[in-house]
Amino acid sequence: MLQAVRAIVAILILGIAVTIGYFIATRDKEMPTEIVKEVKTVFVKEVQNRTVPIVIPANGNLTAKNRLELYAEVQGVFRSSAHDFKPGQQYGRGQTLLNLDASEYYASVQAAKSELFNLITSIMPDLRLDYPDYYEKWQRYLDGFDINTSTPELPETASEKERYFITGRGIFSSYYNVKNLEQRLGKYRIVAPFSGILTEALVNKGTLVRSGQKLGEFIDTSVYELEVAVSKRFSDLLEIGEEVRLSDRNGIENFMGKVVRINGRVDQATQTIRVFIEVKGSEKLKEGMYLQANLEARDEPDAISIPRQLLVDNSQIYVVKDSVLDLVEINPVYFSDKEAVISGLPDGTKYLSKSVPGAYAGMRVKIFEDQATPSE
Residue type, 95: Q
Q: Is 213 a member of any domain?
A: yes
Q: Which residues contact 207 (CB under 8 A, 6 or more apart)?
A: 77, 78
Average pLDDT over residues 177-189: 94
Tell me, yes or no, whether 138 and 275 share the same domain. no
Q: 370 lies in a domain? A: yes
Q: Which residue has better confidence, 314 or 172?
A: 172
268 vs 376 pLDDT, higher one: 268
Same domain? For 185 and 306 the reply is no
- 267 within domain boundaries: yes
Last residue within a domain, chosen from 191, 219, 247? 219
Inside any domain, residue 113: yes
CA distance 329 to 326: 10
In a domain, 357, yes or no: yes
Q: Which domain holds residue 164?
A: 70-219
Which pLDDT score, from 0 to 100, does residue 37 have? 62
Task: Mark whether 256 and 187 lie in a shared domain.
Answer: no
Q: Are residues 215 and 226 in the same domain?
A: no
Q: Are residues 151 and 108 located together in one domain of the fold?
A: yes
Using pLDDT thresholds of 50, 70 and 90, give the confidence band for residue 238: confident
Looking at residue 286, which CATH number applies to its domain? 2.40.30.170
Which CATH number belongs to the domain containing residue 325 in this structure?
2.40.420.20
Residue 26 has pLDDT above 70, yes or no: no
Cα(127)–Cα(139) distance, integer angstroms: 10
pLDDT reported for residue 34: 53
In a domain, 35, yes or no: no
Radius of gyration of the chain (CA): 45
Spatial contact of 250 and 292, defined as CB atoms under 8 Å apart = no
End-to-end Cα separation, the chain, in angstroms: 96
- The mean pLDDT value of the chain amounts to 86
Residue 368 in any domain: the answer is yes
Q: Output the pLDDT for position 188.
A: 94
Q: Are residues 77 and 196 in the same domain?
A: yes
Q: Return d(Cα 293, Cα 55) in angstroms, integer.
A: 9
Asked whether residue 15 is domain-assigned, the answer is no
Residues 77 and 213 in one domain: yes
Shared domain for 338 and 283, answered yes or no, is: no
Please give the residue that has the higher pLDDT: either 35 or 54: 54
pLDDT in tens, 300-326: 888 898 998 888 888 899 998 888 889
Last residue of a domain, one of 194, 219, 244: 219
Phi-psi region of 165 (alpha: psi -120 to 50; beta: other; left: phi over 0): alpha
Pair 325, 208 in one domain: no
Q: Which of 154, 188, 219 is the last residue of a domain?
A: 219
Same domain as 227, residue 182: no
The structural domain count of the chain equals: 3
Q: How many CA atoms lie within 13 A of 40 on its CB side?
A: 16
Residues ≥6 apart with Cβ < 8 Å to 202: 213, 214, 215, 216
Q: How far apart are CA 70 and CA 97, in angstroms?
A: 9
* pLDDT score of 27: 61
**CB 273 within 8 Å of CB 229:** yes
Phi, psi of 188 (to 5 degrees): -80, -10
Find the mean pLDDT for residues 226-238.
79
Question: CA nearest 254: which of 214, 200, 294?
Answer: 294
pLDDT tens digits for 53-96? Answer: 887 788 899 999 999 999 999 999 999 999 999 999 999 999 99
* Residue 29's pLDDT band (cuts 50, 70, 90): low
Q: For every residue of 306-338, which 3-state class applies, written as one string? A: EEHHHCECCCEEEEEECCEEEEEECEEEEECCC
Q: What's the pTM?
A: 0.66
Q: Which residue has the higher pLDDT, 187 or 367?
A: 187
Question: Is the domain of 338 the same as that of 232?
Answer: no
Place 183 in a pLDDT band, splitting at 50, 70 and 90: very high
Which of these, 97, 368, 308, lies nearest to 217 by C-alpha position? Answer: 97
What is the rounded distance in angstroms from the CA atom of residue 342 to the CA atom of residue 10? Answer: 79
Residue 250 sits in the same domain as residue 270: yes
| Residue 372 binned pLDDT confidence (cut-offs 50, 70, 90) | very low
